[in-house]
Structure 1
Amino acid sequence: MKITEVETVSLEEHPNLLWVHIKTDQGLIGLGETFFGVDAVEAHVHEFIAPYLLGKNALDIERHSHRMTGYTGRGGSGAEMRATSAVDIALWDLWGHYSNQPIYQLLGGASRDKVRVYNTCAGYQYVRKAAAQVSANFGINAAAVERPYEDLEGFLNRADEVAESLLEMGITGMKIWPFDFAAEAHGGTHISTQDLKTALVPFEKIRAAVGDKIDIMCELHSLWNVPTAKKICHALRDFDLAWIEDPVRMDHLGNVGKITEVSETPIAVGELLGGRAQYRDLIEKSDLGLVIMDIVWGGGLTEARKVASYCDTHGLPFTGHDCTGPVALCVSTHMALHAPNTYIQEMVRAFYYDWYQDLVTALPPVKNGHISAPDGPGLGMALNPDVLKRSDARVRVSKLNEGPKQ
């Protein structure tokens, strides 16, 4: 099955999202996705990956995985790795269409039919346009505050009500990040007693309202130095959290181990890493509670299945990240159904029940707090054809025996 065309698609409305279509001489099309730095990722897809892939057999996925990132692009989740991730996912989707099998079956079959979800309490506009996580630009849409799933404003001001709403839907986990304002005030170098007390209020509200009926996860967004991260973890110990996520910057993996040594709460990290070697170093240097991987950042399914397997070897739970786009959620769900050491799957209900549904033909079904794969081969979804017709769509194509075209 020869690759004849590589196409990228982006929208002004969602400038952090990029989709990739891999087309073949058999008329089959594979869909991939990544997030952040769209211009740089698009350039790598068309100027490096497409010239290599065009004319190649689409089914040689392992071979292509080793070639797509490039000599200078391995390690981390930079533009080269994100481009590779999107294309790799599209190749797996193609294989699914070619073999008429869902991706979880291609990975070796399902370990479960469904997996529990937790809700990351973002809002409708969260990181829609921001290039980085900044609490001054959380993306709270004032007009959307009264809408049912504006969970960012919700957890900051009404965490108890958000918890009760999630439980009514059958969702028994929620992730919040009330410390970010304090990190930005002082560059993550320290936190005042008053700011610490303020940040603890949402946890107090949740436990007072619903007790231990819901799991709470605390996201720290890698904003803190080691001593302050330790202080925050100590302050959170009495809330019996499911985990504390990304307490320190991921550019020094040994620092994660300094936190895990003193934290009574499990530490979860990994979504910012790229490639299995970084996960190996992380796991060997830290007594982790959970490994998180963003499959559209970290190398695609080819790397994700190896990372999940390595975690399983070390007796560690594994989960996929989703706070980006609908394909990320779908491909993570396929991996979650396959990997025997899956713990839980992330979702953002403000995305899932809103703009995700406009962009793709199907979504992984969510029912009573659990998610399963869509019906159909490959991912079980495709990009909505109307997306390509939108006035704000940007489509770039590289074809076999032709240069890139705008």
Structure 2
Amino acid sequence: MYRLLTGLLLAGLFALPGFAAESLKIGLNYPRTGNYKDEGLELRRGALLAVDEINRNGGVLGRPLELLSENTASRAEQARDNVELFARQGARMVFGGATSEEAMAAGERARDLGLLYFATLSYANEVTGQAGHRYLFRESNSAWMSARVLGEYLSWHMPRQRYHYILVDDAWGRSMESALRLATHTTDRARYGRTALPTGLVRREQYRDALLKAQNSEAEVLVLVLLGENLQRTMRMVHNMGLKKQLQIIVPNLTKSVVQQAGPLVMEGVIGTEAWTWDLPRQENNAAGQRFVERYIAEYQEYPGSTTASAYSIVRQWADAVQRSQSLDSEQLIRALEDHHYVLLKDQQTWRAFDHQNVQSIYAVRVRSRAAVMSDPFKQDYFEVIHRMAGEQAAPSLDEWQQERGENLTLQ
């Protein structure tokens, strides 16, 4: 951590008169407080690593990068206001967020200001679907992509099961529920029940009532469309109630921070999806990915998660587009990014032109047993990859995307 901060301080010195060109500023929207604060920490760490690495290699267009960051507390209006603040401070790009509402609100304001916005941890289909526009790119996968890899795995290994859904009633929750119901052929709500929890503060009795409803149903699979502290609290109650003996728990979007905070005993056996795990670079013999993992371990004495990898990749990809286009103009950067293929921390990824969705392989994963996790040197080797789907197969097709868009058949 000391080495990283020292490197960033030195990079900042290059921006002073008499040293080198003025720094290029980029803005990070991240939740420092609230339901997703653990994911926010991972976002910031990934961004800092990328900025430090780029500056050690000469910066961008000969200018050092400078990271501006502001807390969103996972609120859409704060994320939007932060974009305006970043613009006043001279930021040339903004990225981050931990909810789909943040991404859509911040992305819309960024477009008004002529800035590109790269969404992280924003899984609702609307982000690059109905609400998509030319200035918004999403690095994280969509609900469709998670649902399709899960649907295929579950149909092969757990066919003809009865499902029950518990979700937060927000854009991602509704989007994920709808996509997974289609992928698992569980669209009949009379047969496959649900409980929608309110956004914001959820009381303990609301979690318990939802779980009791699932327990008293005939379900064999319980889908928890939850993230952050909402998921941590629910999983602790699932564990205490002994529900894993009755139900297979599915968490469509798993993150390292959730397993870390809830604990491997509580989370063991849970099935979900990840776009990246720390061990993938070794499995794929990806040298750049392995260097990233090694640097993160050296700085923080733990493994990086997919949230960290997403923030790191966005900064690297924006900087790469600037270098390739030799421009900071948003329109030229859009052209440089659209249909650009690259390999960075995993196999090939693509910034798809028609919707600006990052198309990449998606993995169904299972949380390892507590005994297996505790045998690891860092006690954080949480995920076993149980299924893989190529991004082209997981992502919605152009026709499916246009069906969702209605009359707006191209990004504006």
| TM-score, shorter chain, exceeding 0.5 | no
**Larger helix percent:** 2
TM-score, scaled to structure 1:
0.32
